[in-house]
Amino acid sequence: MTDATTADGAKGPPRRDFLKLVTGAMAAVGTGAVVWTFIDSMNPDKATIAAGAPIDINLAHVAEGQQIVVLWRGKPMLVVKRTPAAVASLKDQKIVKLLSDPDSKVDQQPPYAQNWHRSLKPEIAVLIGVCTHLGCLPGYFPKPSATTPVPDWPSGYFCPCHGSKYDLAGRVWKGVPAPYNLPVPPYHFLSDTMIRIGENPPGQNWSMSNIVQM
Ligand code: FES
Note whether 5 and 121 are within 8 A (CB): no
pLDDT at residue 33 tops 80? no
Gap from CA of 205 to ligand 1 centroid (Å): 31
d(CA 183, CA 125): 11
Helix, strand, or coil here: 88? Answer: helix
- Active-site position among 61, 117, 133, 162: 162
Q: Is 172 in the pocket of ligand 1 (CB under 6 A)?
A: no
Residue 46 confidence (pLDDT): 64
**Would you list the domain boundaries of the chain?**
1-214
Helix, strand, or coil here: 46? Answer: helix
The answer to whether 133 is a known catalytic residue is no
CA atoms within 13 A on the CB side of 20: 12
Q: Which of 6-10, 66-70, 74-78, 184-188 has the lowest mean pLDDT?
A: 6-10
What mean pLDDT comes out for the span 9-21? 35
Task: State percent of the chain over pLDDT 90.
Answer: 75
Sheet holding 194-197, edge to edge: 55-58, 194-197, 187-189
Q: Is 213 in the pocket of ligand 1 (CB under 6 A)?
A: no
Residue among 162, 165, 166, 213 to mutate when testing ligand 1 (max atoms within 8 A of CB): 162
Residue 113 confidence (pLDDT): 98
What does DSSP assign to residue 17? -
User: What's this model's pTM, rounded to 2 decimal places?
Assistant: 0.82
Whose CA is closest to atom 1 on ligand 1?
Answer: 134
Residue 154 confidence (pLDDT): 98
- CATH number for the segment(s) 1-214: 2.102.10.10
Q: How many residues does the chain have?
A: 214
